[in-house]
Amino acid sequence: MKHPIYTTFGALLIALLVVAELRGWTPMRPTEVKNIPRSIRDNPGAYRPHYRTFFGSGHYMRGK
């Protein structure tokens, strides 16, 4: 086999890609919080998120 290390690297990467697709992995990571209070449904305005940034964080784009 030519380039056994590169071929193995490529095969592993593609296998990882397949698993990532099957499991729905993406590079994006939202803040995950466990056991939030059920009152969120009754009083959604009182809920305070734990995340700081995901994409954009209040630094809004301006026009040209």
Partner 1 sequence: MSAPAVASLTCPQCGAAIELRTLDQALSVVCGSCGSILDARDPNLHVLQEFKARQKFEPQIPLGTRGTLKGEKWEAVGYQVRGIVVDGTTYCWDEYLLFNPYKGFRYLTQYDGHWNDVQVIKAAPDEHTSGGRPYILLHGETFKHFQTATAETYFVLGEFPWQVRVGDTAVTRDFVAPPRMLSEERTPEETTWSLGTYMPAAQIWSAFGLPGKPPHARGVYANQPDAYMPLAGSMAKRYLLFVAVIIALILLRLVTASRETVFATNSAFFRPGAPADSLAFVTPSFTVSGRTANLEVTTEAQVDNGWAYFEYALVNETTGTTYEFGREVSYYYGRDSDGNWSEGSRRDRAVLPSVPAGQYFLRVLPEAEVPTSFLEYRIVVRRDVPTLTPYLFCLALLALPPILVALRAWGMESARWKESDYAPSSDDDDDE
Report CA-CA distances (Å) from 43 to 21, 38, 48: 36, 9, 11
Answer yes or no whether residue 17 interacts with partner 1 by CB under 8 A.
yes
Residues 21-60, mask of contacts with partner 1 (x by CB under 8 A): xxxxxxxxxxxxxxxx-x-xx--xxxx-xxx-xxxxxx-x
Q: Does 20 bind partner 1 (CB under 8 A)?
A: yes
Contact status, residue 37 vs residue 31, Cβ threshold 8 Å: no
Does position 12 bind partner 1 by CB under 8 A?
A: no
Closest Cα partner for 14 from 3, 6, 64, 58? 6
Q: Does 4 bind partner 1 (CB under 8 A)?
A: no
The whole-angstrom separation of Cα 2 and Cα 12 is 16
* Contacting residues toward partner 1, per CB under 8 A: 2-3, 6-7, 9-10, 13-14, 16-18, 20-36, 38, 40-41, 44-47, 49-51, 53-58, 60-64
